[in-house]
Amino acid sequence: MLSQAGLFLFDALISFFTFVLLLRFFLQAFRVSFRNQIGAFVVQLTNWLVVPLRKILPGFFGFDLASLVPAYLLQVLLLLAVFSLRGSSDLLASDTLIGLILWQGMLATLRFSIYLLIGALFLQAVLSWVSPYSPLAQPVSQLTRPFLRPIQRLVPPIAAIDLSPLIAILLAQLVLMFL
């Protein structure tokens, strides 16, 4: 019981930092300004890790590996903790299990990225209806625009209602089914 509670707290902490690191990665990848509430929060929370890692992990084709690699490694660490707490520590020496954990870590990181996209799409849709001039509307719109534009070309607004966020969320959930 105590190990389950500890694993739950560890999972919550790892998931939160994975989410923030991936958010930093995507904000930078989509050239979203960090001069807003979201950007300032993300930068202040992750600078202690990302700035020193940039000396070791340079960018790759404009992508910030110093944000992406720690997010992946946190997921691998979580999977290692889960396997070791479930009594599989003797199996951890197996090359097959290590390969499986590394693969599952990549899939978990991809899942987190899609959950982040779904959350941003949902937030963007709500903000467009409730408060389109909110300070959060611009960065969220910049984050979701690359995913919504192709859909908006195919599905125009119907009675001035943009259905592209709904379609994008459905497509993202479809991708999650395969992951």
Predicted confidence at residue 93, as pLDDT, reads 61
Predicted confidence at residue 44, as pLDDT, reads 96
Whole-number percent of the chain with pLDDT over 70: 96
Backbone angles phi, psi at 64, to 5 degrees: -85, 95
Maximum average pLDDT range among 82-86, 118-122, 127-131:
118-122
Residues 6+ apart with CB under 8 A from 107: 179
Domain that residue 166 falls in: 2-178
Predicted confidence at residue 68, as pLDDT, reads 95
Q: Which conformational region is residue 115 in: left (phi greater than 0), alpha (psi within -120 to 50 degrees), or beta?
A: alpha
Inform me whether the pLDDT recorded for 166 exceeds 80.
Answer: yes
Q: What is the dihedral of CA 158, 127, 173, 112, to 10 degrees?
A: 160
Closest by CA position to 113, among listed 63, 152, 163, 56:
63
pLDDT tens digit string along 20-70? 999 999 999 999 999 988 999 999 999 999 999 999 988 888 889 999 999
Cβ atoms 125, 12 nearer than 8 A = no
Inform me whether the pLDDT recorded for 11 exceeds 90.
Answer: yes
Report d(CA 6, CA 1) in Å as an integer.
9
Q: Which two tokens stand for residue 66?
A: 């110093």
Maximum average pLDDT range among 87-91, 116-120, 122-126, 162-166:
116-120
Predicted confidence at residue 162, as pLDDT, reads 84
Predicted confidence at residue 152, as pLDDT, reads 93
| DSSP conformation class of 35 | -
Question: What angle do helix axes 37-56 and 137-154 make, rounded to 10 degrees?
Answer: 90
Number of structural domains found in the chain: 1
Predicted confidence at residue 96, as pLDDT, reads 78
Q: Which two tokens stand for residue 43?
A: 């930068």
Q: How confident is the model at residue 88 (pLDDT cuts 50, 70, 90)?
A: low
